[in-house]
Amino acid sequence: MNRYPLWKYLLIVIVIAAAVIFALPNLYGEDPAVQISPARAAEIDEALQEKVRAALDAAGIVPLAIERDGRRLLIRFRDTESQLKGRDLLSQALGAGYVVALNLAPVTPEWLTALGAKPMFLGLDLRGGVHFLMEVDMNAAVRQAEERYISDIRPLLRDKKIRYKTITREDRGGIQIRFQDAQTRAEAGRVIKDAFQDLDVKENESGGEADLQIQLTDKFKNETRKFALQQNITTVRNRVNELGVAEPVVQQQGESRVVVQLPGVQDTARAKEILGATATLEFRMVDQDHSVQDAVDGRVPLGAKLYHDRDGRPILLDKRVMLTGEYIIDAASGIDQVSGGPAVFITLDGKGARIFSRATRDNVGKPMAVVFIENKTETREKNGELIKVKGIVEEVINVATIREELSKRFQITGLDSTEEARNLALLLRAGALAAPLEIIEERTVGPSLGQDNIDRGFKSVIIGFMLVVVFMAFYYRLFGLVADLALALNVVLVVALLSMLQATLTMPGVAGIVLTVGMAVDANVLINERIREELRSGNSPQASIHAGYDKAFSAIADSNITTLIAGVVLFGFGTGPIKGFAVTLSLGIVTSMFTAIMGTRAVINLIYGGRRVEKLSIG
């Protein structure tokens, strides 16, 4: 009675050994480091490593180590001051070809790394960094969809030889097309309905005019909003990668918001500038057939649109867009060999190359303009209140004559500075936002505050653990000490699992561990009280141990399963901090079932099993 087979003891030993190995990396701490990754086609090779070493030696900065893994170069420093100096120095020395970012590198021994053991990630509130809550302008996403349909409807009606007066997007939403007569309107309505299934087309009579009122269907609007949110999340992730941030968090919150957490980031101004920017490009032909002055006076010709260049000079462009930024797959900043000014070198995808090749082939010898488009939000004071005003900046940054047919690769010039060229290349390379993003909340957590949170969290775990240990040892004697041993193993198991899953530990996660410490002994309290009852009923010590574990199991399983269900629901429906709490709570429940039942039973069996016992040390 009260004996385990050998395989159970071996299983427990293997689990404990694995838990200790995977939890160990969290004890070694981290070094302040600078991470270098390629911004475009640059390589991380031995030549770069020597260049970095030479630049640091020349400045008198001695790194702890320089490590290269093929995808990045990691330079470790002794302190934060050396880290910041090294970052500034290397940013200037390497130029725009590389992304130089601050990081924290774990000090894990090679033998642990070889076994795949890594420390868990620390969240924003523990490591320090910046938190953004961004909102997607869903109305702008719908407006852009309507504009795209206008661009598609125009050539469709021309191909079908259906004449129309005007086609405009209404301020309240929807598209209005005006015709000469009802017969033409009816024919156009049939053609548009057949070509576009996502449009709701209705005939309308207003002021004697024959109009078509076109609305996007509700289903298509919802799909457009969902696509805009997902596309923006993907784009933001790409931009975060360009910034070189380690362990970023980019996730959806609600139906229109995105949470971005950048642990370790200290240059918050640049992060805010890059993440919130919505720059893209449009290529249009210059309208040479009409007068610019007439357009300035308010008589803009049909099929044309008035723009201004960066010096404020008006320029008339064709309304038809030759190419948009969505076809750009790569962009790199550099210097134009002819003018010596900053330039951005563009690479198009296959479809974009075909479109651009056809458009430029038909317009050799004619001027083409590059339009820079950016959505901006400004805070202004009105009637004593601060309000946010959204606007679109559209300016011509370059006008050049097409000398030959352009295809997959070309360059644009006319930029103000190399910094602007780098930022524009980054934004184009990371992808355009499907709709404008507005930063509605910003929080910065300093490294010192993060360390303070770590110290407080660690102290809370230790205090909670020691109070439980003292209570159990005092109240249940030897059985209490066994429960305390299982509790310590439970904490090690939770840390090991978080490290194996490469989960991010936050303050709510620490709270989950503290709660787990208190809850983990519940099972042992039930078992020990059941053993006491059996002893009071006159059963032998061995029979009482066996009955205590067997009869308490159902109650332990019920209480833990219900709590686990709550944890799963919190993880499924919660966001950020709530998910962190749910993860540690759920893992703690699973590990406590193992340690409190199987682990303590194994120790009790080793102590009391297989021999005659007169009395149990259980208080």
- DSSP letter at 96? G
Between helix 46-58 and helix 80-94 the angle, nearest 10°, is: 120
Q: Which helix (H) or strand (E) holds 65?
A: strand 65-68
Residue 92, pLDDT score: 80
Residue 397, pLDDT score: 78
Residue 41, pLDDT score: 47
Candidates 233, 274, 281, 241; CA nearest to 434 is 233
Residue 40, pLDDT score: 47
Q: Across the strands, what pairs with 178?
A: 166, 211
Query: What does the DSSP assignment read for 439-462?
Result: EEEEEEE-HHHHHHHHHHHHHHHH
Separation of first and last alpha carbons in the chain: 22
Question: Is the distance from CB of 581 to CB of 508 less than 8 angstroms?
Answer: yes
Question: Is the distance from CB of 604 to CB of 541 less than 8 angstroms?
Answer: no
CA–CA dist 105, 32 (Å, integer): 6
Question: Is the distance from CB of 328 to CB of 347 less than 8 angstroms?
Answer: yes
Q: Which tokens belong to 74?
A: 């990691």
SS3 102: strand
Question: Is the distance from CB of 507 to CB of 577 less than 8 angstroms?
Answer: yes
Question: Is the distance from CB of 245 to CB of 100 less than 8 angstroms?
Answer: no
Backbone angles phi, psi at 444, to 5 degrees: -120, 130
Type of residue at 68: R
The answer to whether the 139-219 and 279-432 domains have the same CATH topology is yes
Q: Across the strands, what pairs with 104?
A: 32
Backbone angles phi, psi at 458, to 5 degrees: -65, -40
Residue 496, pLDDT score: 92
CA–CA dist 464, 226 (Å, integer): 45
Question: Is the distance from CB of 493 to CB of 19 less than 8 angstroms?
Answer: yes
Query: What does the DSSP assignment read for 204-249?
Result: EEETTEEEEEEEE-HHHHHHHHHHHHHHHHHHHHHHHHHHT-SS-E
Give all strands of the β-sheet with 209-216 in edge-to-edge order. Answer: 166-169, 175-179, 209-216, 199-206
Report in angstroms the alpha-carbon separations of 536 from 529, 531, 610: 11, 9, 22
Q: Which tokens belong to 85?
A: 């100096």
CA–CA dist 507, 126 (Å, integer): 7
Q: What is the pLDDT of residues 562-582, one digit of tens each?
A: 888 988 888 887 766 677 788
Q: Which residues contact 323 (CB under 8 A, 6 or more apart)?
A: 282, 283, 348, 352, 355, 356, 359
Candidates 160, 152, 200; CA nearest to 179 is 160
In the predicted model, residues of the chain with pLDDT beneath 50 are 40-41
Type of residue at 174: G
Residue 559: HSE in the Cβ half-sphere, 13 Å Cα cutoff: 15
Query: What does the DSSP assignment read for 176-194?
Result: EEEESSHHHHHHHHHHHHH
Question: Is the distance from CB of 407 to CB of 322 less than 8 angstroms?
Answer: no
279-432: which CATH architecture? 2-Layer Sandwich (3.30)
Q: What is the pLDDT of residues 142-154, one digit of tens each?
A: 888 888 788 788 8
SS3 550: helix
Q: What is the pLDDT of residues 402-430, one digit of tens each?
A: 878 877 888 877 666 776 677 667 666 65
Residue 570, pLDDT score: 84
Residue 13, pLDDT score: 92
Report in angstroms the alpha-carbon separations of 303 from 104, 130, 151, 153, 292: 56, 46, 11, 14, 13
Report in angstroms the alpha-carbon separations of 76 from 103, 398, 488: 9, 43, 33
Q: Which tokens belong to 575?
A: 């966001």
- The beta-strand segments (E) located in 275-403 are 280-286, 304-308, 314-324, 328-335, 342-348, 367-382, 385-401
Other beta carbons within 10 Å of 482: 25
6-25+450-608: which CATH architecture? Up-down Bundle (1.20)
Q: In CATH, what number does 139-219 get?
A: 3.30.1360
User: Could you state, in order of their start, the residue ranges of all structural domains in the chain?
Assistant: 6-25+450-608, 30-106, 139-219, 279-432
Question: Is the distance from CB of 425 to CB of 333 less than 8 angstroms?
Answer: yes
Q: Across the strands, what pairs with 33?
A: 76, 103
CA–CA dist 378, 386 (Å, integer): 10
CA–CA dist 487, 594 (Å, integer): 11
Residue corresponding to tokens 């770069």: 48
Q: In CATH, what number does 30-106 get?
A: 3.30.70.260
Residue 554, pLDDT score: 84
**String of b and e for 291-314 (b: at least 16 CB within 10 Å)?**
ebeebeeeebeeebbbbebeeeee
